[in-house]
């Protein structure tokens, strides 16, 4: 877990530095993701180097085993040829290669376990960075929303401080006052010119004229009826 610990220390140092400088949240989070990815690349290089060492140890182990097998084959050839001394020398060489192969196997086994741990740490790092990426997007959205709310609140506070809404109220009262004054002036003008009284007399005169005309028409009609009645009576006599 040393790889993960080194990564956390490096990232934590950068976070503390950025927070102390109180940078813009979006800029800070984006920069942090960039640095985490850079640390991830370095971690991958470390794991790759460890894997390379493991492969090298594995090759050395295999090579010594092959040599041990080869010297055993030579010992068999020597025995068949009746060369026991050569067979003994071959078997001693085989033993040396077997011992070296076992040493490389122990080293390879330890390196293999270390590599597996490093691979696990690397996968954990990748998962953490992916999680950080998702959180970054959420935090940026929250930061933007909070900033918008902050600007709106500042705007509202500014309007309250300058009594902007009170200005609108006073202007509305002023307009209502002007409208009332206009109505009053119209009423005064109408009263002073006597138009109302004159219109009343004109209506009365018009009414009398109409009544006279109707009365004249009625009298003419009655006269015609009386004339017809007189003529009818004379005819019957």
**CATH code for the domain in which residue 87 is found:** 1.10.287
Q: Which residue, 196, 123, 160, is CA-closest to 115?
A: 123
Average pLDDT rounded to a whole number, residues 29-50? 90
pTM for the whole thing? 0.53
**The predicted structure's pLDDT at residue 205:** 63
Q: Clarify whether residues 101 and 194 are in a common domain.
A: no
Q: Clarify whether residues 137 and 176 are in a common domain.
A: no
Q: Clarify whether residues 37 and 145 are in a common domain.
A: yes
d(CA 216, CA 208): 12
Decide which of 168 and 218 is more confident: 218
Domain boundary among 102, 133, 162: 162
Q: Clarify whether residues 155 and 186 are in a common domain.
A: no
Q: Clarify whether residues 138 and 120 are in a common domain.
A: yes
Q: Which domain holds residue 221?
A: 168-236
Domain boundary among 109, 138, 162: 162
Q: Clarify whether residues 127 and 228 are in a common domain.
A: no
Q: Clarify whether residues 116 and 18 are in a common domain.
A: yes
Q: How many CA atoms lie within 13 A of 86 on its CB side?
A: 11
Q: Clarify whether residues 209 and 190 are in a common domain.
A: yes
- As for how many domains the chain has, the answer is 2
Confidence bin at 139 (pLDDT 50/70/90): confident
Q: Clarify whether residues 108 and 26 are in a common domain.
A: yes
Q: Which residue, 120, 139, 112, 131, is CA-closest to 50?
A: 112
Average pLDDT of every residue of the chain: 80
Domain boundary among 162, 189, 206: 162
Q: Clarify whether residues 32 and 59 are in a common domain.
A: yes
Average pLDDT rounded to a whole number, residues 13-21? 54
Q: Clarify whether residues 25 and 136 are in a common domain.
A: yes
**The predicted structure's pLDDT at residue 41:** 92
Q: Clarify whether residues 136 and 188 are in a common domain.
A: no
**Residue 197: pLDDT over 70:** no
């Amino acid at each position: 877990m040393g790889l993960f610990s080194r990564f956390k220390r490096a990232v934590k140092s950068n976070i503390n530095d950025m927070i102390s400088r109180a940078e813009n949240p979006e800029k800070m989070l984006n920069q942090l993701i960039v640095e985490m990815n850079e640390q991830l690349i370095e971690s991958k290089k470390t794991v790759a180097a460890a894997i390379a060492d493991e492969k090298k140890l594995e090759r050395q182990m295999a090579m010594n085993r092959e040599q041990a097998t080869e010297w055993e084959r030579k010992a068999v050839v020597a025995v068949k040829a009746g060369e026991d001394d050569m067979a003994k020398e071959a078997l001693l060489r085989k033993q040396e290669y077997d011992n070296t192969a076992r040493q490389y196997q122990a080293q390879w086994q330890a390196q293999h376990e270390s590599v597996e741990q490093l691979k696990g740490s690397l996968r954990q790092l990748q998962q953490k960075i992916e999680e950080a990426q998702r959180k970054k997007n959420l935090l940026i959205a929250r930061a933007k929303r909070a900033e918008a709310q902050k600007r709106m609140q500042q705007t509202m506070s500014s309007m309250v401080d300058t009594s902007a809404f009170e200005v609108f109220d006073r202007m509305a009262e002023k307009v209502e006052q002007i409208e009332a004054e206009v109505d009053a002036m119209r009423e005064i003008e109408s009263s002073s010119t006597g138009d109302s009284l004159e219109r009343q007399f004109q209506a009365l005169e018009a009414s009398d004229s109409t009544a006279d005309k109707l009365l004249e028409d009625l009298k003419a009609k009655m006269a015609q009826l009386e004339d017809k009645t007189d003529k009818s009576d004379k005819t019957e006599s």
